[in-house]
Amino acid sequence: MGAAAAGTWRLGDLTVNRLGFGAMRLTSTADGRPSDGARAIGVLRRAVELGVDHIDTASFYVSDLRSANELINSALGGPYPDNLVITTKVGPGKDANGEWTPAARPDQLRGQVEENLRQLGRDHLDVVNLRVHAADSVAERFGVLAELRGAGLIRHLGVSNVRAHQLAEAMAIAPVVCVQNRYGLGIRGDDELLAECGRLGIAFVPFFAIVGSRTAAIGAGGGTAAPGEEAEVVGEVARAHGASPAQIRLAWTLHRGPHVLAIPGTGDPDHLEANIAAGAIRLSPAELARLDGLGALAG
Ligand SMILES: NC(=O)c1ccc[n+]([C@@H]2O[C@H](COP(=O)([O-])OP(=O)(O)OC[C@H]3O[C@@H](n4cnc5c(N)ncnc54)[C@H](OP(=O)(O)O)[C@@H]3O)[C@@H](O)[C@H]2O)c1
């Protein structure tokens, strides 16, 4: 069944498989060297073959030699599959030296949208998230994106790294189809926001669902270096399913609600297959209770 095994959700009028793909890991190796372009293109094409129809990207996912958007365009463009939904994000940027630039001013957002259009080779963007850094007002920046949506450059809007009041502020300006925040086993600060998105019918799209709170701690074979009880419980559940801890972490997020989408990031073809297979894992009520109970440890 591939990526369809976890079912579908809607982003506005676009229906996607809940198991998608995050493009951030395509551009460099774990030690920071530029990735092998042919391997990255192979991962993207295989993802689509396996049923992935939702890819998360950004123009600032770049290394010295690679751009995630350009890899996506080379691998899947000309023409793109009709059902493929590409979600990108604006707000942060990188300069020509690959250094992060401060969050875009409202008047810079159009340029960022156009940069995504150029790199992806599209005449409109399916979903654009406003990625914010602070808890301040999103109204002016989201208003600019709403205007670009009205002009036909963007089909649907989302928000990323937001608090509940910022989601409410954005929703008062234009429809919001997704919230993309850091969330997973060990990072449970958005439990309430996830539930609120479910009540509102908005997709909740966690990033770092595999790496959890330990962004550099993935070990060989899909293990994690999470210490203590969390690693122990995840490991036991994984063994019971003949799965890896990474797969259980992904499967757990998908069990948080039908509106939760997965966008695991990888440049590794074997990890891609494993991540997509995780969409078919069904956790029992007892396993869910054990994993959910770890939230209390996360603090
Ligand atoms: N909105 C935002 O601010 C924001 C921030 C960060 C990321 N994102 C998006 O969210 C996506 C997911 O985040 P992420 O890629 O940083 O983190 P992730 O999906 O939690 O984990 C990716 C890391 O885990 C490894 N990995 C992936 N599958 C694995 C498996 N089956 N077994 C063992 N290791 C595995 C990857 O290395 P390998 O390449 O070696 O597999 C990579 O180091 C990104 O790709 C990006 O699209 C959004």
Distance (angstroms) between ligand 1 centre and the Cα of 152 equals 31
Q: Which atom of ligand 1 is nearest to the CA of 181?
A: 1
Q: Which atom of ligand 1 is nearest to the CA of 57?
A: 47
Q: What is the mean pLDDT of residues 58-86?
A: 96
Distance (angstroms) between ligand 1 centre and the Cα of 108 equals 28
Question: In the chain, pLDDT over 70 holds for what percent of residues?
Answer: 94
Crossing angle for the helix pair 164-171 and 139-150, to the nearest 10 degrees:
40
Distance (angstroms) between ligand 1 centre and the Cα of 267 equals 9
pLDDT at 22: 98
pLDDT at 215: 46
Please, which residues have CB within 8 angstroms of residue 156's CB and are 6 or more apart in sequence? Answer: 11, 12, 14, 126, 127, 128, 149, 175, 177, 178
Catalytic residue (one of 9, 21, 60, 61) = 61
pLDDT at 93: 86
Q: What is the mean pLDDT of residues 27-54?
A: 96
Which among 159, 157, 163, 133 has a CA at the least distance from the CA of 145?
157
Residue 80 DSSP one-character state: P
Testing ligand 1's pocket by substitution, the residue of 31, 43, 205, 210 carrying the most ligand atoms inside 8 A of its CB is 210
Does ligand 1 have an atom closer than 6 angstroms to the CB of 217? no
pLDDT above 90 for 222: no
Testing ligand 1's pocket by substitution, the residue of 218, 224, 234, 270 carrying the most ligand atoms inside 8 A of its CB is 218
pLDDT at 295: 75
Distance (angstroms) between ligand 1 centre and the Cα of 19 equals 13
Q: Does the model's pTM come out above 0.75?
A: yes
pLDDT above 90 for 101: no
pLDDT above 60 for 221: no
Write out pLDDT tens, residues 244-294: 999 999 999 999 999 999 999 999 999 999 999 999 999 999 999 999 998
287: three-class secondary structure by DSSP: helix
pLDDT above 60 for 187: yes
pLDDT at 150: 98
Does ligand 1 have an atom closer than 6 angstroms to the CB of 211? yes
Q: Whose CA is nearest to atom 10 of ligand 1?
A: 207
Does ligand 1 have an atom closer than 6 angstroms to the CB of 27? no
pLDDT at 297: 58
Distance (angstroms) between ligand 1 centre and the Cα of 286 equals 27
Distance (angstroms) between ligand 1 centre and the Cα of 140 equals 30
pLDDT above 70 for 226: no
- The CA distance from 260 to 49, in Å, is 22
In the residue annotation, 183 being an active-site residue is answered as no
24 neighbors 35 (Cβ within 8 angstroms)? no
262: three-class secondary structure by DSSP: strand
pLDDT above 80 for 98: no
| CA 195 to each of CA 18, 192, 198, 201, 233: distance values in angstroms, whole numbers, following the listed order | 17, 5, 5, 10, 24
Q: Where are the beta strands (DSSP E) in the chain?
A: 8-11, 14-17, 21-22, 54-56, 85-90, 93-94, 100-101, 125-131, 154-160, 176-182, 203-207
Q: Which atom of ligand 1 is nearest to the CA of 274?
A: 31
- The CA distance from 233 to 93, in Å, is 38
Q: Whose CA is nearest to atom 48 of ligand 1?
A: 207
